[in-house]
């Protein structure tokens, strides 16, 4: 989702948008077939991808704090992004980036967690949570609850 929020800041032309759509189409199909072959490898790959995103957003926040991105320092978060991340009225781009980074931390943890599970482990996805220490927790499930 955050891709669209950042795209809106730049409002790229049709060729850029088509390139992104084509890249996503290629990736989706490659990932789909890759997932059928090795789900854990795919989760590990996404976990590292998300880890890199967390690093990138951390560097971005550092640049903002050091005054290297003057325009973004004065830019309010787009309304749709603020609503999506439940940010308070008047939130700035920095607030949005912090929220996006927190989201990416969750994605990283969940993907590394699933990469560690055996491929055909039975997991009730409704009971997977991230705790306040950014660790993945799977609640114990009452077997009667499943019925
Ligand atoms: Fe993500």
CATH number at residue 53: 1.20.1260.140
State the Cα–Cα distance between residues 108 and 134, nearest whole angstrom. 10
- Across the 147 residues of the chain, what is the mean pLDDT of every consecutive 10-residue run? 79 92 96 95 96 96 95 91 93 94 91 85 74 69 54
Give the Å distance between the CA of 104 and the centre of ligand 1.
5
Q: Which of 127, 92, 97 is nearest to 113 (CA)?
A: 127
Q: Which H helix or E strand runs over 20?
A: helix 14-37
In a domain, 123, yes or no: no
DSSP secondary structure letter of residue 132: T
In a domain, 74, yes or no: yes
Q: Which residues contact 108 (CB under 8 A, 6 or more apart)?
A: 47, 50, 51, 53, 54
In a domain, 142, yes or no: yes
In a domain, 127, yes or no: no
DSSP secondary structure letter of residue 143: G
Q: Is the dihedral of CA 78, 93, 107, 85 positive or negative?
A: negative
Predicted pLDDT at 143: 52
pTM (two decimals): 0.79
Q: Where are the beta strands (DSSP E) in the chain?
A: 128-130, 136-138
In a domain, 86, yes or no: yes
Give the Å distance between the CA of 54 and the centre of ligand 1.
9
In a domain, 130, yes or no: no
Give the Å distance between the CA of 47 and the centre of ligand 1.
9
Give the Å distance between the CA of 100 and the centre of ligand 1.
8
The parent domain of residue 12 ranges over 2-117+138-146
Give the Å distance between the CA of 75 and the centre of ligand 1.
23
In a domain, 30, yes or no: yes
Give the Å distance between the CA of 128 and the centre of ligand 1.
16
Give the Å distance between the CA of 91 and the centre of ligand 1.
21
Give the Å distance between the CA of 121 and the centre of ligand 1.
23
Structural domains of the chain, count: 1
Is 9 buried (19+), middle (13-18) or exposed (0-12) by CB count in 10 A?
A: middle
Give the Å distance between the CA of 17 and the centre of ligand 1.
20
In a domain, 132, yes or no: no
């Amino acid at each position: 989702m955050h891709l669209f929020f950042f795209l809106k800041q730049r409002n790229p032309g049709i060729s850029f948008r088509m390139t992104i759509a084509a890249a996503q189409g290629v990736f989706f199909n490659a990932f789909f077939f890759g997932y059928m072959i090795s789900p854990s490898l795919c989760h590990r790959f996404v976990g590292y991808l998300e880890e890199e995103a967390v690093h990138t957003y951390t560097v971005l926040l550092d640049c903002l704090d050091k005054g290297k991105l003057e325009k973004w320092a004065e830019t309010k978060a787009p309304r749709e992004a603020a609503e999506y991340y439940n940010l308070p009225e008047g939130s700035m781009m920095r607030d949005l980036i912090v929220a996006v980074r927190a989201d990416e931390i969750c994605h990283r943890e969940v993907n590394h967690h699933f990469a560690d599970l055996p491929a055909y482990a039975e997991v009730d996805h409704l009971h997977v949570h991230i705790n306040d220490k950014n660790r993945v927790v799977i609640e114990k499930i009452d077997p009667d609850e499943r019925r």
